[in-house]
Homo-oligomer: A and B are copies of this chain.
Amino acid sequence: SEQGRLLVKGEDKPGIVAAVASILREFGANIMSLDQYSTDPESGNFFQRTAFHLEGFQAMRPELESALEERLTRGFGMEWKLHSSSQLKRVAIFASKSDHCLLDLLWRHRRGELPMNVTMVISNHSDLAEDVRQFGIPFVHVPVDKQDRTAAERRHLELLQGNVDLIVLARYMQIITPDFLERIGCPVINIHHSFLPAFIGAAPYRRAKERGVKLIGATAHYVTEELDEGPIIEQDVVRVSHVESAEELARSGADVERQVLSRAVAWHCSDRVMPNGNSTVVL
């Protein structure tokens, strides 16, 4: 059944939790889970995610939003967002030639693990077209000229602007320009194939082999203007040894990459991730 989710964020002050709970109570909502976190008991930032059941949520939504506006925004100076579990996020996945992250997302989506609508897969190569179409999902081939990304990004914007709530880079391996980020106006999640901040940039598995690390990792993060520097959503590692070549590290790493990316996308699509400066609060 339908679930509402209210995210509240701002400067911590006494009484916010009571205000949120009272508003929901007045509308007849039943709180299913409430997670609250403050960075500091005295004067920190406040983060709250409340999931609730409310008969006729969609009908009452404008009124509820007015009440939140009045009492949270004006009363406490808080930012808030209201989401409904029935309005799935529209997601576009960007891929290149590697299939592991893409297929894991599509397969988990098909079996109901990822609450999202995959509107299309965009790739700079056509290799994965057949795999994607078997899932009944549109595949669009947009070649990228590395000297001039303008044409490709214009095409991306034509396809996506106003039509997506999230872009997932499933080992897309192409630079996303600040200009594109600004124009698209929705969050972009990337999977980096290392345990950030170790091995920022290219060829992390080769560099991991050279450094002789005993664990390799993967990091899902929001994309910002600076390469591999955006807020981290999730990370994980797997044990390796001297025996594995750089190619075998890449193979073991692929397993971690797909798990980490799928978890990050699931959390984002369930409205569990709240950015806090350059890090994230996952509630």
Contacts and interface: CB of A to CB of B under 8 A. Distances in A.
A175 interface: no
A124 interface: no
Interface of A: 1, 12, 14-18, 20-22, 24-25, 28-38, 41, 53, 99-100, 103, 107, 111, 113, 134, 195-199, 210-215, 217, 231-237, 241-243, 251, 255, 259, 276, 278-282
Given A215-B195, A279-B212, A41 B21 contact: no
Contacts of A234: 214
8 contacts: A18-B24, A37-B242, A195-B215, A211-B232, A212-B278, A214-B232, A242-B279, A242-B282
Nearest to A235: B214
| Dominant secondary structure of chain A at its interface with chain B | mixed
Contacts of A282: 241-242
Contacts of A99: 111
A210 B282 CA distance: 16
